């Protein structure tokens, strides 16, 4: 790795550190989240460029300066403008050693990311994400022309820009290099996976801290359960999948997720702005969170802001002239069309999904059923959200996946062979999240009183103790 690459990594981390610290209020955790924060700010710069024109470099500088100013004000604002009660920490600190927990997390996750040392030759990375970064690097006119060009239709120019924006930012500073692009893409994905670890540990904050962090690491490592070779190769599948699962852990399993919702909302925003599948799955997650928080809709509406940002990109890309191959295939019409065609595509689709992720899901289902029978009271006492929400999210996403393959325009066998192991990453991660939630309940030393019902998943402002007291009870 050259000095330029080391400088690139340092700048990607440093640029996002103020926003990351504002989100998690923990210096160790902020280091993990910083590259993803840089990607989000770079995405804002891309959107501003497409809307208002001018060059990407000027909007990049503007976006970061505004972000740093807002973060500085948030962190240094007068005492009378702050909350009367300080918010709880973003994640439990094992034995008062947050740096050790973050260091171990980074070390464990860094091992499989050594695949970033492979040559940058992946097809989708070049033909989609880095190609988009290339035309984002210049100005609005070039970007709009490329997005509307029929010659670039193969590149899915309608895809959201988060996976490409940080690469464009790095290229703006250091020039075009595919090695730099692969490094920045891998660093952004690493940050997303690490942020998911933090989100899972936070959701299980009332468990023993080291167990909560171990559960987070286990969910993070599930990113490599299917399609491991794509995680550090410049693809966006692991990026949006990790963000979705982290958001699900924070918003569906946390005792009171809207006491400090920033991390979950940021991860959901990153998911919907990374790939079209992320927008669909993010919409399902937002609907589930709304149902779960139906007694507190005054807070739950926040979860639709990330989904709104994804829909805004859809509108912006259409105005720029982008098209979607899935939309052009008219999936709704195909769904109610030739029954023989649908049946012929359904069987290979189900077979491929089962071969890819079926056994892992089956094990997780067994863990869930056993947990519901044996340790339901312990789970209820810990305040962890209902496991049903995770399975509803997984089933909803799987259903949209099957519908897409069955009604899509491409040859189904080729399509499944090229993508099944990538698009099933969130299914594998959600299955792992469900399993570890029951394992934590099994080793918990908190038994609820006799007759304590399990939380059905709903929450409101009135049926939770103060957040600070909850964290104090957890020993965080």
What's the pLDDT band for 93 if we cut at 50, 70, 90? low
pLDDT top residue among 465 and 140: 140
How far apart CA 83 and CA 74 sit, in angstroms, is: 12
Q: Which of 64-73, 198-207, 376-385 has the lowest mean pLDDT?
A: 376-385
Q: What is the mean pLDDT of residues 372-378?
A: 88
Q: What is the pLDDT of residue 81?
A: 60
Whether 414 has a pLDDT exceeding 70, the answer reads: yes
In the numeric block, which tokens belong to residue 251? 């918003």
Whether 446 has a pLDDT exceeding 60, the answer reads: no
- Other CB atoms within a 10 A radius of the CB of residue 183 amount to 25
How far apart CA 408 and CA 215 sit, in angstroms, is: 37
pLDDT tens profile 201-250: 999 988 888 899 999 999 999 999 998 899 999 999 999 999 999 999 99
Cβ distance 261 to 190 under 8 Å?
A: no
The answer for residues whose C-beta is within 8 angstroms of residue 113's C-beta and 6 or more apart is 186, 190, 231, 232
How far apart CA 100 and CA 36 sit, in angstroms, is: 21
How far apart CA 458 and CA 438 sit, in angstroms, is: 19
Residues linked to residue 27 through DSSP beta bridges, in sequence order: none
What's the pLDDT band for 86 if we cut at 50, 70, 90? low
Q: What is the pLDDT of residue 77?
A: 73
Whether 89 has a pLDDT exceeding 60, the answer reads: no
pLDDT tens profile 393-409: 999 999 999 999 998 88
**Is the entire prediction scored with pTM above 0.75?**
yes
pLDDT tens profile 291-350: 998 888 888 899 999 999 999 999 999 999 888 766 655 555 556 566 777 888 999 999
Share of the chain above pLDDT 90, in %: 64
How far apart CA 329 and CA 407 sit, in angstroms, is: 8
Residue among 21, 425, 434, 439 at smallest CA distance from 225? 425
Whether 460 has a pLDDT exceeding 60, the answer reads: no
């Amino acid at each position: 790795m050259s000095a330029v690459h080391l400088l690139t990594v340092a700048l990607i981390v440093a640029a996002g550190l103020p926003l990351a610290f504002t989100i998690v209020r923990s210096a160790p955790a902020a280091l993990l989240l910083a590259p993803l924060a840089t990607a989000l700010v770079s995405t804002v710069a891309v959107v501003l460029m497409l809307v208002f024109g001018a060059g990407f470099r000027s909007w990049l500088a503007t976006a970061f300066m505004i972000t740093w100013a807002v973060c500085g004000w948030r962190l240094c604002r007068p005492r009378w403008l702050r909350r009367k009660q300080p918010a709880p920490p973003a994640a439990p600190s094992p034995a008062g050693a947050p740096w050790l927990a973050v260091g171990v997390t980074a070390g464990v996750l860094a091992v499989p990311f050594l695949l970033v040392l492979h040559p940058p030759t992946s097809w989708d990375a070049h033909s989609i994400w880095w190609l988009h970064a290339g035309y984002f690097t210049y100005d609005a006119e070039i970007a709009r022309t490329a997005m509307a060009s029929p010659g670039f239709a193969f590149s899915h120019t309608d895809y959201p820009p988060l996976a490409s924006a940080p690469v464009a930012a790095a290229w703006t500073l250091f020039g075009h290099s595919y090695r730099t692009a692969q490094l920045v893409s891998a660093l952004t994905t690493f940050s997303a996976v690490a942020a998911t670890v933090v989100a899972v540990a936070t959701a299980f904050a009332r468990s023993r801290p080291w167990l909560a962090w171990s559960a987070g690491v286990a969910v993070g490592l599930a990113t490599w359960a299917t399609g491991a070779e794509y995680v550090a190769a410049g693809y966006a599948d692991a990026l949006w999948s990790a963000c979705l699962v982290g958001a699900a852990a924070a918003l569906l399993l946390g005792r009171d997720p809207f006491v400090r919702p920033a991390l979950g909302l940021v991860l959901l925003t990153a998911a919907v702005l990374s790939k079209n599948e992320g927008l669909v799955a993010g919409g399902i997650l937002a609907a589930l969170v709304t149902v779960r928080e139906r007694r507190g809709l005054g807070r739950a509406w926040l979860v639709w802001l990330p989904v709104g940002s994804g829909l805004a990109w859809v509108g912006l890309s259409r105005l720029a002239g982008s098209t979607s191959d899935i939309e052009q295939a008219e999936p709704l019409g195909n769904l109610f069309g030739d029954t023989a065609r649908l049946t012929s595509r359904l069987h290979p689709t189900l077979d491929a999904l089962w071969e890819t992720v079926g056994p892992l899901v089956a094990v997780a289902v067994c863990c869930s059923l056993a947990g519901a029978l044996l340790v339901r009271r312990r789970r209820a006492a810990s305040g962890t959200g209902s496991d049903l929400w995770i399975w509803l999210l997984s089933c909803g996403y799987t259903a949209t996946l099957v519908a897409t393959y069955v009604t899509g325009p491409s040859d189904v066998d080729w399509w499944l062979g090229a993508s099944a192991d990538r698009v099933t990453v969130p299914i594998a991660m959600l299955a792992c999240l469900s399993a570890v939630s029951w394992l934590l309940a099994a080793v918990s030393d908190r038994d609820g009183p006799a007759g304590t019902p399990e939380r059905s998943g709903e929450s409101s402002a009135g049926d939770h103790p103060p957040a600070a007291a909850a964290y104090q009870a957890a020993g965080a």
